[in-house]
Amino acid sequence: MLIDGTAYAEELRVSLLDELSGLPDGAGIATLLVGEDLAAQVYQRRIDRHARELGVYSRPELLPANATLGQVVGKIAELDVDPQVSGILVLRPLPAHLEEARIFSVLPVLKDVEAQHPVNAGLLSLGMPRFVPSTPAAAFHMLDRYTASVGRDPRTAYDGLDLVLVGRSNNVGKPAAILGLQRNATVISCHRHTFDAGRLSEHTRAADILIVAVGVPGLVTGEMVREGAIVIDIGINALRDDDGSVRLVGDVDTPSVDAVAEAVSPVPGGVGPITDMWLLRNTIDAAWLQAGTALSERHRAERAG
């Protein structure tokens, strides 16, 4: 069966309206795109639309692909002093000449809503997150909600299960591994070297829960998935058709995987809509923090897994 991420995202959207209502100065998200990556462009436009619909200030910014490190750092500083901006997102991928670590290290920690600054990444790894990166948070929110919908308790449903991750990026794969460990799963992280060694299918076929986030369209097929597994497709690949239109596809071949899996998240309509709402949730939480109000214990428990 296909997991309806749009429905879970709508639940989150409704809850965000309540969280916004008490903010004296509102919340705002700034998205910074360097270059012209198609998937990043689609994501930036989507966040801008959702933010405005929700009543969150949105400031999309674009720098050319040949922007210098100084220009990017300067733009981040400019966004930091904008009183309407409570969250800053630097979109990936960055051009190859820009060092991600140097850019993320200058993000203001209270506006770093994707937890990419070393301090926020460290808090996440210790189970004391200020923010949880929106995409892995969305994947586990989907898993938690689906698990509950079929009568399993999300607090114990992962205990001892084999959770296999395909992809080890700093913004998705590694935080997802942390969230899986915090839920008592047995976590296996696969990556390019796993594939090069010819062992990727060996691990994916052993997974009770399989999360795929590598940016390779249709990489995982039905023959690579154990019967009855739950498969979460995080891949967002923008393909341009002959007529010039752009469509999004995932890293999973959904029809063949759906034939053997207990459940699979589609692209589009799966993790993506939840990710959008979670990013805005982090942005609203950041506004509360900057207003001097600590996150509720409920929020902290959810973010810690």
Q: Are residues 258 and 277 in the same domain?
A: no
The reply to whether 26 falls in a domain is: yes
Asked if 87 and 30 touch (Cβ cutoff 8 Å), the reply is: yes
Q: What is the mean pLDDT of the chain?
A: 93
Q: What is the mean pLDDT of residues 81-93?
A: 96
CATH assignment at residue 112: 3.40.50.10860
pLDDT over 70 at 298, yes or no: no
* Domains: count for the chain: 2
Q: Tell me the C-alpha distance between 136 and 177, whole Å.
A: 9
2 within some domain: no
List the domain range (segments joined by +) for residue 185. 134-271
Report the pLDDT averaged over residues 206-234: 97
User: Do 153 and 257 lie in a common domain?
Assistant: yes
Judge if 257 and 278 occupy the same domain: no
249 and 151 assigned to the same domain:
yes
CA 189/CA 203 separation, integer angstroms: 9
Does 277 lie in the same domain as 242? no
In a domain, 126, yes or no: no
Is 142 found in the same domain as 264?
A: yes
Instruction: Using a pLDDT cut of 90, give the percent of the chain over it.
Output: 85
What pLDDT, on a 0 to 100 scale, did the predictor assign at position 195? 95
Q: Domain for residue 123, yes or no?
A: no
Reply yes or no on whether the pLDDT at 297 is more than 70.
Answer: no
Arithmetic mean of pLDDT, 133-142: 97
In a domain, 242, yes or no: yes
Examine the domain organization and report whether 58 and 158 are in the same domain: no
Tokens of 40: 């990043």
Give residue-wise pLDDT tens across range 187-217.
999 999 999 999 999 999 999 999 999 999 9
Same domain, 267 and 287: no
Together in a domain, 157 and 208: yes
Cα gap 261→225, rounded to integer Å: 7
* Pair 286, 163: CB distance under 8 Å: no
Q: Rounded mean pLDDT of 13-31?
A: 91
